[in-house]
Amino acid sequence: MKQFIIIILTCMMATSTAMAQKGLNINQLFDGRFKKATGATEIIVTGSKASEIGLDIYHSLSVTDDVQAELVESYVKKDGVKAVDKEVEYRNGQLYYGFYTLKPEKGCKRYIFFLNQNLARKSPKKVVTLIYMEGKASAEKIKKLIRK
């Protein structure tokens, strides 16, 4: 019986995580393809660790490959069109960073953050980072959280 309940709860959690990003283009990037990709780092945090900072889901992806980076940027731009609020900066015609606030779903605030560190002025790094966040945290809190 216990095992059955655990299975049901696990399925519910997996479904809710999948539902969170449903309808977004970046969802295609979180299908597990980067888990074993060289130069890519994917971090998924849910549960108590995430709730400590006011989030239900924290999903980040960092890629170093140019082709992958372009793909990430293109999906972010597509999703950015649907954002209810956005803060973006372009450098040399390329998206340097973007902080997008999406339409809330079931009372949950949703954010997409994109950063191309290759366009940094001080110490550029060949890394493109995408972070999807969902929870009750405000945009200001999220920005403080992900900015040094």
DSSP line for 117-128: GGG-SSS--S-E
Is position 122 an interface residue for other proteins (rule: CB under 8 A)?
Answer: yes
CB atoms within 10 A of CB 112: 25
Which segment (5-13, 22-30, 67-75, 119-127) binds other proteins by CB under 8 A?
119-127
Instruction: Give the number of residues in contact with other proteins, rule: CB under 8 A.
Output: 21
Please give the residues from 19 up to 78 whose contact with other proteins meets the rule CB under 8 A: 43, 45, 49, 53, 58, 60
Tokens encoding 9: 């709860």
Chain residues in the site for other proteins (CB under 8 A): 43, 45, 49, 53, 58, 60, 85, 87, 89, 96-97, 115, 117, 120-122, 129, 145-148
